[in-house]
């Protein structure tokens, strides 16, 4: 069986219960986690240890919190007051876990689903999503990681162009794949609004509702948008159901024509304002 799982964010106890609930066996089953393995919850390191121990029976895409861990570890960004990354940063195997994390993809395909953390721009088809993700993955895995990481930050350019090069190109790709919620019909991204789909700023739409989106017709699965809640549509799975905020951790079976949804409650919530 093959399952997609939403944002874990350091909630290893919930992840363990969810794997038990779906009857997961690494010798038989496969899971894809949709990014944000770490941060805000209390057990970032155990999550990394659990997922890595599953080997080829589990894959994940990188989310914005995963990239934030890399940036903090390399001195590029300060820790936020609400970060819960110290178990990784102080681990005797810190270098191992950071290296493991930076070798994970930004996008992948599983059982016909295009899997990303946040979203895709309307002008990108599936092949372009995977190709652009691959460009950034090569930088994350390269020897100049510390020089690359500062280039991730900023909201510009807010609109994709095939002519973008260097830091602007990579930043635009990262922002789309790990931060996107709303954009305009021409793909101009907006990063300030974090409420649900009904809170779209004037002239903006949820990325998956933009008319003419080139990935329409190809199922897309994402996390990232906890205020959106579970969306289980023929061509969209949005699976960040706010585990770390006191909600649920969600898995959906996506093979064999099945669409079974399984959820477990989280046993703790992040502090208010975290």
The predicted model scores a pTM of 0.96
Q: Is residue 214 part of a domain?
A: yes
* Residue 32 within a domain: yes
| Residue 272 is assigned to a structural domain of this protein | no
Residue 268: pLDDT band with limits 50, 70, 90: low
Which pLDDT score, from 0 to 100, does residue 199 have?
97
pLDDT tens digits for range 235-250: 999 999 999 999 999 9
The confidence score (pLDDT) of residue 270 equals: 54
pLDDT of residue 274: 39
Q: What are the phi and psi torsion angles at 216 (to 5°)? A: -60, 140
Q: β-pairing, 248-253 with 2-5? A: antiparallel
Residue at 270 is within a domain: no
Q: What token pair was written down for 60?
A: 């994940």
Cα–Cα distance, 193 to 176 (Å, whole number): 14
Beta strands in the chain, from DSSP E residues, in sequence order: 2-5, 30-33, 58-60, 107-110, 113-116, 182-183, 189-190, 205-206, 220-222, 231-233, 236-238, 248-253, 261-265
CATH number for the domain spanning 241: value is 3.60.21.10
> Which domain does 204 fall in, by range?
2-265
pLDDT digits 0-9 by tens, 77-87:
999 999 999 99
C-alpha closest to that of 178 among 201, 207, 141:
207
- At 34-75, the pLDDT tens digits run 999 999 999 999 999 999 999 999 999 999 999 999 999 999
**Residue 42 resides in a domain:** yes
**pLDDT tens-digit profile of 162-179?**
999 999 999 999 999 999
For the chain, what is the domain count? 1
In a domain, 274, yes or no: no
In a domain, 273, yes or no: no
Higher pLDDT, 163 or 274: 163
Rounded-to-integer distance, Cα 44 and Cα 8, Å = 9
- Inside any domain, residue 271: no
């Amino acid at each position: 069986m093959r399952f997609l799982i939403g944002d874990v964010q350091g909630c290893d106890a919930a992840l363990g219960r969810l794997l038990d609930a779906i009857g997961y066996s690494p010798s038989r089953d496969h899971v894809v986690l949709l990014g944000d393995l770490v941060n805000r919850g209390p057990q970032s390191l155990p999550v990394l240890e659990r997922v890595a121990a599953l080997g080829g029976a589990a894959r994940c895409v990188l989310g914005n919190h995963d990239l934030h861990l890399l940036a903090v570890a390399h001195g590029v960004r300060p820790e936020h007051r609400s970060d819960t990354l110290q178990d990784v940063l102080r681990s005797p195997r810190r270098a191992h876990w950071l290296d493991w994390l930076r070798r994970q993809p930004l996008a992948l395909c599983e059982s016909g689903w295009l899997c990303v953390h946040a979203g895709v721009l309307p002008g990108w088809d599936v092949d372009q999503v995977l190709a652009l993700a691959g460009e950034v993955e090569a930088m994350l895995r390269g020897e100049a990681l510390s020089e690359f990481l500062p280039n991730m930050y900023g909201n510009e350019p807010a609109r994709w162009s095939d002519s973008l090069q260097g830091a602007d190109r990579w930043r635009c790709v990262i922002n789309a794949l790990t931060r996107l919620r709303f954009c305009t019909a021409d793909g101009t991204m907006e990063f300030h609004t974090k409420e649900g789909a009904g809170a779209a700023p004037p002239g903006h739409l949820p990325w998956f509702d933009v008319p003419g989106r080139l990935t329409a017709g190809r199922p897309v699965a994402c996390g990232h948008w906890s205020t959106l809640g579970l969306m289980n549509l023929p061509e969209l799975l949005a699976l960040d159901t706010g585990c770390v905020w006191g909600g649920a951790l969600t898995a959906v079976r996506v093979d064999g024509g099945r669409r079974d949804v399984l959820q477990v409650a989280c046993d703790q919530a992040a502090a208010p304002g975290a």
